[in-house]
Amino acid sequence: MAYEFKLPDLPYAHDALAPHMSAETLEFHHDKHHAAYVTNANKLLAGSGLEDKDEIGIITGSFGSNPGLFNNAAQVFNHTFFFDGMKPGGGGASLPGKLEKAITEAFGSFDKFREEFINGGVTQFGSGWVWLAAKDGKLEIMKTQNAENPFVHGAQPIICCDVWEHAYYIDYRNLRPKFLEVFIDNLANWDFAEANLEKAGF
């Protein structure tokens, strides 16, 4: 049975993240951009020899050898992960227990983590992503270009922010730093991050 990429519904209404992220942004970002990656990934999967792999197997299996498939398949995963990683009333410094402990161990404090995550997103030149990722049993900030994600760098994703311009230009124009601050302070779903930390073996 060949794998099929699917476009999941947003886990909240399109207007649920306003004023931090508008319904218009989510209508374009989920209903148009994310949907197009799903359509293209399925087209490019056909005949690739990776049809029988799972989602992560297709991503890691196409990395470096089938850029068209890799870019679309990874962007399907990245966007689902990004949208699941936000919630209405999210963000802020109050974290679930395991996440707080792991962040404090890795960065010294939540404020230092916040600063490093925002700085990672701001300094990712051009299109890409900033991640809190788990590698070798430790949390780190990882920035990736275009569609790359932690799986192709030997790491597990915990939470991420999309820093492609389409993620923030409607709401914040060129102010990427402001968008990243709002992500950490008002949007991040720390329960989702805690669940991913447990999946990564913490």
Q: Which residues bind Mn ion (CB under 5 A)?
A: 162, 164, 167
Nearer to Mn ion, 82 or 202 (CB): 82
Nearer to Mn ion, 21 or 118 (CB): 21
Nearer to Mn ion, 81 or 151 (CB): 81
Please state the closest distance from residue 195 (CB atom) to Mn ion, in A. Answer: 22
Nearer to Mn ion, 107 or 168 (CB): 168
CB-count burial class (<10 Å; 0-12, 13-18, 19+) for 2: exposed
Crossing angle (nearest 10°) for helices 67-84 and 35-45: 140
Please state the closest distance from residue 139 (CB atom) to Mn ion, in A. Answer: 23
Nearer to Mn ion, 107 or 172 (CB): 172
Please state the closest distance from residue 129 (CB atom) to Mn ion, in A. Answer: 9
Q: What angle do CA 190, 8, 118 make, to 5 degrees?
A: 35
CA–CA separation, 184 and 79 (whole Å): 17
E strand or H helix at 58, and its extent?
A: helix 55-62
Please state the closest distance from residue 169 (CB atom) to Mn ion, in A. Answer: 11
CA–CA separation, 169 and 146 (whole Å): 17
- Which residue minimizes CB distance to Mn ion? 162
Please state the closest distance from residue 197 (CB atom) to Mn ion, in A. Answer: 24
Pair 161, 82: CB distance under 8 Å: yes
